[in-house]
Structure 1
Amino acid sequence: MAETRALPPEALKALSRRSDIDGLRALARHAGLIALGVALVLAARGSLWVWPAMALLGAAEISLFSPLHETTHRTPFRSLWLNRLVGWVAGFVLVLPPEGFRLFHMAHHRHTQDPARDPELIGAKPLTRGRYWLILTGLPYWWSQILGLVRTAAGRDRSLWIPAADRPRVTAEARLYLLLYAAVLAFSLATGSTLALLLWIGPVALAQPLLRWVLLAEHSGCVRSNDRWANTRTTLAGLVLRLLFWNASYHTEHHLAPGVPFHALPRMHDLVSGRLAVLSPGYPAAHAEIRRTLA
């Protein structure tokens, strides 16, 4: 794409190298945080300390969106089967089937900030101050995602970004997810177990606002044009958020070269930072910029 011509071809080639080791290292770190969260929730069960423990676990689980997102580009791992497996598990946790999401996300990259063709904008209500705060609760996400999953499983999803040849696979994936969710529910009811609520449903519900906080900053308040230097925001996040979200804050860099793996985005940022049109010094600053654009 023309926007990446600012990078010498040899530099872009070096940045685009994929590695199972780098991906597995990040995955192990993420899995370790989830394991810590699980241990804390189980230890705090029955006390008020269970709420902060669930919030910590939820932050680790909800940020699985980042490896899911990366696997749609097949970049975090060199091995295709690893990309597919990690994407499938992360998608299950987030109620976001990976095949359907991959088609959605590829269309978003092709038509970023085009109100008529970007799936993130098609049919979306204007972002007002009231809607901004509502989105941050995560409630619209869960409502649309669960209804969308049921509609897709019923074979009624007619989204323009899903080619006819891919519909059977996307439908089958949604049906399998629903079957597995039903199995978890049936097991919980039959045994009286609250583990799914304590270790999954509760945590991801508590932490969904964190994910909305990160994702809203990616394009909100940026120009509606096909200029990828200006229609996307890079946010200079702290170390914790960079690790938790697999360097997703370097979002302009990602849109300029989607084939660059997450672990190489900081190096790419060093090469292109001088040309970025929208660069925020942190998420609070990014959201302050967004709110200034709202009615």
Structure 2
Amino acid sequence: MAPSASTATATKNIPSNDKTIRVNGKASSPDLPAQELQRDPLEVKYRDFFWTYTEEPHRTRRLAIIKAHPEVTKLCGPEPLTKYVVLGVVALQIACAYVLRNYSFFSWQFWALAYVVGATANQNLFLAIHEISHNLAFRSPTANRLFAIIANLPIGIPYSASFRPYHLTHHKSLGVDGLDTDLPTALEAVFLDSILGKAFFCTFQIFFYAIRPMTVFPVPFTRVSATNLAVQFIFDYVILTTMGKEAMLYFLLSSFLAGSLHPLAGHFIAEHYVYETVTPTQKDPNNRVPLPETFSYYGPLNFLTYNVGYHNEHHDFPAVPWTRLPKLYEIAREFYDELPRHESWTYVLWRFIFDENVGIRCRVKRKEGGRLVGQTKAATAAQPVAQVADWKEDELEA
């Protein structure tokens, strides 16, 4: 089994224009100075994102798994349990807001409940919306769009309608610069790639994930967007007028803490930041291997987060719901056991901040490929025929 991402010693790769990243052996990039070409590439100081020209790995692995285990396609489809979990968590958050309505925002009880219960609950709702964005709560797409708006309520800010096109584009355009809004921008890399910068990023990462997509590309404002906005406004108004501002502040603080220095927030970084190089296998005599760009986590916090830690599995089969991802892993175990993984989301955050070998730039990027999801019919018609035909895979992928 490959070493875990939380225990292996981190080293830096050399960014190059090659289709794969050379881990051992001589550096081959013509962009590096001659004196650096003569050094061990593992000693060269990291200075850029990991640029690659290879296709993202998930589609290839998905086809290989289906060929080896055709029964995995039976795992796809909605999970009825999701709607009951969502309604329970929404009710829990409203109850907590009611309890705190007479507490001061500055009291330790307010912050303790918001951190322990509120942040955990709202992170759960973030990931419920993520699950619903793949049409995995109901068979009807419309029912999923509307139910995501219900899951959005205790978060306080309307975002479920816009999240779906951004997230599905992340799946279709993994690592593509200018399309995948999960990628840090070059500006973030300049200002945040230091211990203080990374600590700031981890503390306020919820704002980066909220604002960054809008700076990369806009998504259409649809009737679902308008419904999301209107329903959220009405809910917030009712909370303010019946329970008071402290109750509303509880929802907002819970959302902030859920995306800050909280154990569950580690999944944001754990999923796609590269924490280690890959040890070349005997199957590759030239010691050239692609850099992994998605990492799974199989620990107990998956219980609170819709099994989002099964992230390689999720990207391979986005149409498999959270309750069946462990089954997918068991069926196709030979495909997943050799992949690097994380053992602790808390340690992911700690190491991201304090390990100088890990930082904002530790992401695999591509110059081209992928496509936008959720655009207007006119924009879709303007795409290349091959990309439009790719929509036929959406039932299995998203």
TM-score (norm 1): 0.75
**Alpha-carbon distance, 1:184 to partner:** 3.9
Deviations 1:192-230 (A, max 9, x none): 922443431233233331353221111112689xx9992
Separation in 2, partners of 1:266, 1:36:
32
Cα 1:13/1:187, change in 2 over 3 Å = closer
Equivalent of 1:201, from 234, 252, 255?
252
Q: What is the match of residue 87 of structure 1? A: 148
1:101 corresponds to: 163
Q: Which amino acid aligns with 1:110?
A: K
Q: Provide the identity percentage.
A: 19
Question: d(CA) in 2 for partners of 1:218 and 1:48?
Answer: 32
TM (norm. structure 2) is 0.57
Q: 2:182 touches 2:209 (CA, 8 Å); kept in 1?
A: no
Deviation at 1:111? 1.7
Number of the residue aligned with 2:304: 244
Out of 201, 212, 215, the position equivalent to 1:135 is: 201
Higher relative contact order by CA 8 Å / sep ≥ 6: 1 or 2? 2
- 1:220-258 per-residue CA deviation (whole Å, 9 max, x = no partner) reads 12689xx999211101221xx223211111111101111
Q: Is the 8 A contact 1:41 1:50 kept in 2?
A: yes
Kindly state the Cα deviation for residue 50 of structure 1 after the two structures are TM-superposed. 2.8
For structure 1, the 5+ residue unaligned runs are 149-156
Instruction: State yes or no: 1:52 paired with 2:104.
Output: no
Q: Which residue of 2 aligns with 1:112?
A: 174
Structure 1 residue 267: Cα displacement: 1.1
Q: 1:45–1:246: structure 2 CA closer, same or farther, 3 Å change rule?
A: same
Distance 1:283 1:158 in 2: 28
Are the aligned partners of 1:19 and 1:78 in contact in 2 as well (CA < 8 Å)?
no
Whole-angstrom CA distance in 1 between matches of 2:126 and 2:234: 22
The answer as to 2:136 corresponding to 1:71 is: no
What amino acid is aligned across from residue 325 of structure 2 in structure 1?
L
Q: Which residue number in structure 2 is paired with residue 16 of structure 1?
A: 76
The alpha carbon displacement at 1:70 in A equals 1.0
Distance in 1, Cα, partners of 2:237 & 2:254? 16
In structure 2, stretches of 5+ residues that fail to align are 1-58, 278-288, 360-398
Structure holding more helix per residue: 1
Greater C-alpha radius of gyration: 2
Pick the aligned partner of 2:89 from 30, 51, 54: 30
Say yes or no: does 1:123 pair with 2:185: yes
Equivalent residue for 1:177, pick from 220, 226, 229: 229
Relative distance call for 1:287 and 1:272 in structure 2 (3 A) is: farther
Is the 1:247–1:265 contact (alpha carbons within 8 Å) kept by the matching residues of 2? yes
Partners of 1:229 and 1:272 lie apart in 2 by: 21
Q: How does 1:149-160 map to 2 (within 5 A)?
A: 159-160=216-217
CA RMSD in angstroms, aligned pairs only = 3.7
Task: Write the distance in 1 (CA, Å) between the matches of 2:108 and 2:352.
Answer: 35
Residue by residue, what CA displacement relative to the aligned partner does 1:168-187 show, whole Å, maximum 9, x if unpaired? 418x8269628954984698
Amino acid in structure 2 at the alignment position of 1:254? H
